[in-house]
Structure 1
Amino acid sequence: MLLNAPPPPKVWNTLERMFTAHSRALSMNIHYQLATLNKGDSSVANYFHKFTQLTNTLAAVDQPLLPHEALSFLLAGLGSKYDSLVTSVKTQLHPMSLEDLYGHMLGHELRIAQNQPTVDLSNVSANFTNKGSSTRGGRGNCLPSNSNYTHVGGRSNFNSNRGRGRGRQNFSSNRPVCQVCQKQGHVAL
């Protein structure tokens, strides 16, 4: 038996069919991944990196995407925050290169980040306080609903027999109502 003899044609045909089937399955899987690829919360750089990995794999199995197909896949996964960019790219007379589009995507991402409102949560409070003083203790400006609380002639009166030093106290009835107190069944003062 000769060691350098080529394998019989039947073996070549089998190998070619196996390689073609594997290549086709890989290609279909990558096309599916490209069709479902979304930027989501990831950065433009990460999104573009995933995209180029997939397109490079297609090129490696000798099935590269046409430029307009690549643009379509890349634009499709951007999301609604990039609608203005997608519209401008689609309405251009001459197709944009992937590298140019990547630059525009990075610029758009920076613009979105600059326009995000900042929220300072350090000043947020569940209690509403009003200028003026209250002579009673406790948290917030709420009284349990079972307190002896009356409203007489434009003034609100509160009579509590809890502890010494507390007696009849007057509170204005036109003070804001705390929504937290209302939900808990308290009377807001």
Structure 2
Amino acid sequence: MVGLTTSNAVWTSIEKFFSTNERAWVMTTRLQLAALKKGNNSISKYYHKVKSYSDSFTASGQPLNDLEYTYYLLGGLDSSYESLVTSILTRVDLMPVDEIYNHLLTQELRFQRQQSTVDMAVSSANVATRGDSSRGPPSSNSPSHNNLALSS
């Protein structure tokens, strides 16, 4: 503030300083939010990360509107959520964020159920395969081997 002679000049300088820093913060934070991905996080954890960014924007006096929030939330999901994302984005009216969150939780539960079904099927197949291999190849005296030899 050296060289400023009036209180108006000091306030203008302070305002300019903070507005420049605020713009930089907004741009940086928006870039971070746009780069945020769900990855291996649960939907709940991912949603709360997005919400934390949104709350920061609100606290700064520049809240995200519902459309921006929706795009950031859906933009970080992987392709396994594609059908749900498409159905949300192609609606005529904008779905409320809490409703989107509920749909995402439901989809995550479906994925978990499907995965546990696949895991059980693989586990059962492994048990069945190990059970058969423990018997070894049929001997020449076994009925199934003899049937093959006789039918030739």
* Fold similarity call, TM over 0.5: yes
Aligned counterparts of 1:18 and 1:30: Cα–Cα separation in 2? 18
Q: Which residue is 2:29 aligned to?
A: 30
The answer to whether the aligner puts 1:120 opposite 2:116 as a matched pair is no
User: Aligned in 2, Cα 1:133/1:88: closer, same or farther, shift over 3 Å?
Assistant: closer
Q: In structure 2, what is the equivalent of residue 44 of structure 1?
A: 43
What residue is the counterpart of 2:64 in the other structure?
65
Name whichever of 88-97 and 59-68 sits farther off: 59-68
Write the letter of the residue equivalent to 1:99: D
- Matched AA of 1:131: G
Runs of 4+ in structure 1 deviating by more than 2 angstroms, as ranges, are 119-125, 128-134
* Alignment match, 1:16: 15
- 2:53 matched to which residue of 1? 54
Q: Given the two structures, how large is their TM-score scaled by the length of structure 2?
A: 0.75
Q: How many residue pairs end up in the alignment?
A: 128
2:136 is aligned, of 128, 131, 137, to: 131
Task: Report the Cα distance in structure 2 between the residues aligned to 1:132 and 1:31, rounded to whole angstroms.
Answer: 65
Identity of matched residues, %: 34
- Partner amino acid, structure 1, of 2:75: A
1:83, 1:132 → 2: CA distance? 48
Distance 1:110 1:44 in 2: 10
Question: 1:91 and 1:21 mapped to 2: Cα distance?
Answer: 37
1:132 is displaced (CA, Å) by 4.8
SS of equivalent to 1:62: coil
Q: Distance in 1 between matches of 2:54 and 2:12?
A: 28
Letter in 1 for 2:93: H
Give 1:56 deviation, angstroms. Answer: 1.0
Unaligned segments of structure 2, at least 5 residues? 1-5, 146-152
TM-score if structure 1 supplies the norm length? 0.61
Tell me, in whole angstroms, the C-alpha distance in 2 between the residues paired with 1:38 and 1:111: 20
Paired with 1:63 and 1:52, the residues of 2 have a C-alpha distance of 14
Secondary structure in structure 2 of the residue aligned to 1:54: helix
More strand by share: 1
More RCO (CA 8 Å, sep 6+): 2
SS at match of 1:115: helix
CA RMSD of aligned residues (A): 2.4
Residue-by-residue CA offset, 1:26-58 (whole Å, 9 max, x unaligned)? 111110111101101100000000000001111
Bigger radius of gyration, 1 or 2?
Answer: 1
Distance 1:52 1:100 in 2: 14
